[in-house]
Chains A and B, each alone.
Chain A
């Protein structure tokens, strides 16, 4: 009798799960810019994760464990990112969703890898998946894919001949700008200006005046929406006729608010915006999000991060395990998971597979009209 009971305990312990331990919790960390220049994005990520956790808990939790969400604000900065990673690791998180900026994500990477904490981020800088951390999964497509599409659109589809490329100094923005510049050259395009702004500095009139004197057809900006909206407004103020094309980080509802009346006609290159996603999963998630928070998500990155969390939860359920090694292994072989942002999978480097880019234009009412898709 006694032996039987001991064996039963051992068996349950080995399985590590089971309804008997339903009261236990599993912690999901959120590392995101809750304050600062990208607060809008960070809060979207936090809201998405809390929503998914609530829904999962209502279904009985993850393998019977209740999900608890722990949030750390990295302000989108690398130094803060490393501090957040240490804090979340100390908190005993199983996985971390976020962060929004590549700089903060890359600073956190080694800390999560050492602690064997799964990390999923929308950071698009190339190096994130090139460092060989098996804990890292990118839930958005990388810069190189976007640069290739952007160059094709600018040079082969629109036949712009004078292209100005602007970035900020972040690893994401600089990387995307460099990749786009190179891809434009490969496609036979002509980059007449390559320059930088300082994110958050507000005053871009000088750079734009310089660009104006070079008479560009198009100004391509690879930075974030908070600067992009202002650039666009100041471009209009200076009467520069060039088309403004923004990279993926300009896809945020705030862009149009900041740019004001100048927003109309701005072109953004990204995977489809939330409202333009055709998938049933997307429609369900958007409806739930709206019901919970009263607004639409600020950008597609709320949804890619939600997909990152959904993929991790799916992997846990499929492997019936909260062993990070098993979950990581499963994710590295995941193909065609039904994501909110479309079919989702990861290769052995943690690179996201399967998502197509679009070029869309901001309309007078702030909605997006697709101009060209892959």
Chain B
């Protein structure tokens, strides 16, 4: 197999991996602090894509590229609306059940997922919605047979940057320390004067905000969004979070990037028919060999 083909597969994998990682962070943070798999998280990411589409709308199918400020506005609107939705989700679906049986919260999460999915279907129609073309500068680099687009580079770099920022925030700020403390023991954290509710709300702002950016990247990269794609991306991001060690922020990043690369190489070198089966095979293998995930030594004690 030629080197350029391998490099191209790595580029493909990193791009998708970056998106998976952004969405996986939301799963891992919520799990870290509430021990809850937020099944509605994938749908929140899709909501981000639709908010962005609405802001960018009206220029469907080519025409002049939208102005830079409009693209920025699309990202800002997506982040704001989805963070609000995340907080609303916490207030209505999870907070009332915080001391209930863990299964109740999981059922509530599934219900919330359906709520978001159907809500988006009602607002943005059940059909595939197409994004305008040329949202980002239409630059393509050909590096010795490897094709690299501006969009891909932007996705990879901004994902890495956002993940790094989150990592630094959680590990090197006062509020980040509060988040980590609440993740270890909520009652003890409360006794130390930490406002645990505020910490939880902040997690439901940060996670969905990153998910919204991931969702909007999906829309820009593939140029389409459909109301029910949250399940697919949610599942992949969930697997990424588990591979990396759920509850662990660097783990979610690593898991996302690894899953993207692995998917890409599996489709390219083994079989595209078995792509999903191979992904699940990897998940099972990791759970067998290292049940806490690659970086998850003290599972669920980190955020």
Whether A213 and B272, one on each chain, are in contact in the complex, defined by CB atoms closer than 8 angstroms, is: no
Q: Which residue of B lies closest to A168 (CB)?
A: B273
Whether A261 and B272, one on each chain, are in contact in the complex, defined by CB atoms closer than 8 angstroms, is: no
Assembly CA distance A203 to B1 (angstroms): 21
Q: B77-85, B220-228, B250-258: which lies at the A interface?
A: B220-228
Q: A3-11, A33-41, A108-116, A316-324: which lies at the B interface?
A: A33-41
Q: How many A-B residue pairs have CB under 8 A?
A: 106
Assembly CA distance A202 to B236 (angstroms): 13
Whether A206 and B232, one on each chain, are in contact in the complex, defined by CB atoms closer than 8 angstroms, is: no
Assembly CA distance A254 to B13 (angstroms): 27
Q: Which residue of B lies closest to A197 (CB)?
A: B272
Interface 0/1 of B1-20, CB less than 8 Å to A: 11001001100110110000
Assembly CA distance A169 to B265 (angstroms): 20
When distances are taken between beta carbons in the complex, the residues of chain A under 8 Å from B268 are: 206-207, 209-210
- How many residues from A make CB contacts under 8 Å with B? 35
Whether A254 and B128, one on each chain, are in contact in the complex, defined by CB atoms closer than 8 angstroms, is: yes
Whether B267 and A239, one on each chain, are in contact in the complex, defined by CB atoms closer than 8 angstroms, is: no
- The listed residue (B1, B13, B130, B142) touching A239 by CB distance below 8 A is B142
- How many residues from B make CB contacts under 8 Å with A? 44
Assembly CA distance A242 to B133 (angstroms): 22
Whether A209 and B133, one on each chain, are in contact in the complex, defined by CB atoms closer than 8 angstroms, is: no
Q: A98-106, A151-159, A230-238: which lies at the B interface?
A: A230-238
When distances are taken between beta carbons in the complex, the residues of chain B under 8 Å from A207 are: 267-268, 272
When distances are taken between beta carbons in the complex, the residues of chain B under 8 Å from A196 are: 271-273
- The listed residue (B2, B228, B265, B275) touching A198 by CB distance below 8 A is B275
Asked if A86 is an interface residue, CB under 8 A from chain B, the answer is no
Asked if B276 is an interface residue, CB under 8 A from chain A, the answer is yes
Pull 15 A–B residue pairs with CB atoms less than 8 Å apart, ordered by A: A34-B126, A35-B121, A35-B228, A202-B229, A203-B12, A203-B16, A206-B13, A210-B268, A210-B269, A213-B1, A226-B226, A230-B223, A233-B223, A260-B61, A261-B62
B-side residues, CB < 8 A to A, are 1-2, 5, 8-9, 12-13, 15-16, 60-62, 121, 125-128, 130, 133, 140, 142, 147, 149, 218, 222-224, 226-229, 232, 263-269, 271-273, 275-276
